[in-house]
Amino acid sequence: MQDILIKNGLIVTAERTFKADLLISGGEIERLGDCLDCPGGIEIDATGKYVMPGGIDAHTHLNLQIGDNKVSDGFYEGSAAAAFGGTTCIVEHPSFGPNNCSLMHQVDAFKKEGNSNSVIDFGIHGVFQHVNADILSECANLMAEGVSSAKIYMTYSGRLHDLEILSVLERAKEVGLLTTYHAESNDIIDFLSSRLSKEQHKDPYSHSLTRPTCSEAEAIFRLICMSEALGGVPLYIVHLSTAAGLAAIEGAQSRGLEVYAEVCPQHLILTDSCYHEPDNRGLKYVMAPPPRKKEDIDALWQGLARGTIDVVATDHCSFSFKDKLSRGRDDFRLAPGGIPGVETRLPLLFSEGVLKNKISLNRFVEVVSTAPAKLMGLFPQKGHLSPGADADVIVFDPHLENEKIITPHNLRQNADYSPYEGMSVRGWPTTTIIRGQLVVHEGRLLVEKGWGQYVNRKQAVKASTVTSMAGPDRAS
């Protein structure tokens, strides 16, 4: 593998911004410094651009199938889209496996699929679909297999009940497993959803009415109480969407509990008015939790800036609009839920967050790369640019000349729509390097499927506390 020298760029990390060259050798970061050279290697001129650690998306469903509904990309197309968007590693949430299967069943299946098809590195979350003594004893094995996080659903048919959650939490504390939660109150949602159906309201907007903000906040608060009852067990809340949920998390953190939160671009950008798009186009946005109101969006941005929220991930789940429409036209509840987003995470967060002064440039790098690396057990191998780390690096173009209007046609992702269609965004990566290999450069994908590797993840380390608030420390 040839060495790579990235010259004249502005290095941006979670802590600071400075001008330096960056030398990559043997798949690792070799050195940062002035006027480096690299005889015989590849030289990339990054004048006027940022050089950052590659993005880490802690929440994807590239390869999901639920019943007859399958997402439109799969590991190959989905990981290629991620690479075009500056993401060098994902942690994939597998779907449920056969009844009563072991915890490793789905991890093994997805690992195999990823090893054959992914072009970027990946980890796999575990998923609890039932709980018994065997499953609890398997938790230690999960950690040994590099699966240091596992998901629990509090809603849907595969949900766990509180007694089961408590027993998992107790075990997770013993073995150091980070449990992650889709936190919504199943009973509130079921109740509202069946009541609405009797009254014949089955349009897309009703989707948001059946999942009110209190249904998220209640579930988060209940979890926090369960953690507290066991003397404090770390929790990771996926796709936080409400100010009320955020307040519960903030309260827990102020009592010294380890509660981490992830937010997705859809909940930072879209509002529930999206469901009013004519001709059933609101079905595009069927996802759980749904987009909320402006007050929630404002609160989430503030929570992200001050560090109550640690991570920005996508929950990428690209069921096609065609499928959503054919199944959900007469009843939103039949539309498969989820939206594509793995490719647009960095540009959206940069444009809406950094350029609008809601988060600093360094905080941007922290929430898209460094903090997820720490919480997902990928640090110090990934998520930063110090010598010895994997050379997962992106060259990122912040300039106005490269502003792009989002349409499904100018994205790599294999989706027939984008929920952000029509938005004008800046901050597209021009080069994506993974373990010292050019993966995307000058608009082309340069590796074969299967080039991505499964990463053995370690126990989570705390995401750092924020010191850099939103402010004018941008360098361009």
**Residue 332 C-beta: closest distance to Zn ion, Å:** 18
Measured from the CB atom, the residue of 315 and 366 that comes closer to Zn ion is: 315
Which residues face 262 on adjacent strands? Answer: 311
Q: With binding defined as CB under 5 A, does residue 203 bind Zn ion?
A: no
Closest CA to 22 of 6, 43, 10: 6
Max CA distance (Å), the chain: 73
Helices assigned H by DSSP within 329-450 = 345-349, 361-365, 371-375
Total of residues contacting Zn ion (CB under 5 A): 1
Q: Restricting to residues 454-473, name those near Zn ion by CB under 5 A.
A: none
> Alpha-carbon distance 251 to 455, whole Å?
34
Backbone angles phi, psi at 162, to 5 degrees: -60, -40
- Cβ neighbours around 409 below 10 Å, total: 7
- Residue 309-338 contact track with Zn ion, rule CB under 5 A, x = bound: ------x-----------------------
Measured from the CB atom, the residue of 292 and 363 that comes closer to Zn ion is: 292
User: Residue 392 is encoded by which pair of tokens?
Assistant: 């997962």
**Residue 197 C-beta: closest distance to Zn ion, Å:** 25
Measured from the CB atom, the residue of 203 and 315 that comes closer to Zn ion is: 315
156: alpha, beta or left? (left if phi > 0; alpha if psi -120 to 50)? left
Cβ–Cβ under 8 Å, residues 438 and 5:
no
Q: Restricting to residues 149-188, name those near Zn ion by CB under 5 A.
A: none
Measured from the CB atom, the residue of 310 and 315 that comes closer to Zn ion is: 315
> Alpha-carbon distance 149 to 94, whole Å?
12
Measured from the CB atom, the residue of 296 and 315 that comes closer to Zn ion is: 315
Measured from the CB atom, the residue of 30 and 315 that comes closer to Zn ion is: 315
**Residue 318 C-beta: closest distance to Zn ion, Å:** 12
User: Residue 228 is encoded by which pair of tokens?
Assistant: 């507290």
Q: Is 254 exposed, middle or buried (0-12, 13-18, 19+ CB in 10 A)?
A: exposed
**Residue 401 C-beta: closest distance to Zn ion, Å:** 35
**Residue 396 C-beta: closest distance to Zn ion, Å:** 26
Q: How many residues does the chain have?
A: 476
Measured from the CB atom, the residue of 83 and 183 that comes closer to Zn ion is: 183
**Residue 336 C-beta: closest distance to Zn ion, Å:** 13
User: Residue 133 is encoded by which pair of tokens?
Assistant: 């003594």
435: alpha, beta or left? (left if phi > 0; alpha if psi -120 to 50)? left
Q: Is 86 exposed, middle or buried (0-12, 13-18, 19+ CB in 10 A)?
A: buried
C-alpha Rg value of the chain to the nearest Å: 21
**Residue 199 C-beta: closest distance to Zn ion, Å:** 29
Measured from the CB atom, the residue of 315 and 352 that comes closer to Zn ion is: 315
Measured from the CB atom, the residue of 60 and 362 that comes closer to Zn ion is: 60
Measured from the CB atom, the residue of 184 and 315 that comes closer to Zn ion is: 315
- Cβ neighbours around 400 below 10 Å, total: 8
**Residue 240 C-beta: closest distance to Zn ion, Å:** 12
**Residue 309 C-beta: closest distance to Zn ion, Å:** 16
- Residue 250-279 contact track with Zn ion, rule CB under 5 A, x = bound: ------------------------------
| Distances in whole angstroms, Cα of residue 299 to Cα of each of 61, 241, 263, 291, 308 | 27, 10, 11, 13, 11
SS3 label, residue 471? coil
| Residue sitting closest to Zn ion (CB) | 315
**Residue 269 C-beta: closest distance to Zn ion, Å:** 17
Q: Restricting to residues 50-89, name those near Zn ion by CB under 5 A.
A: none
Applying CB under 5 A, the residues found at the interface with Zn ion are 315
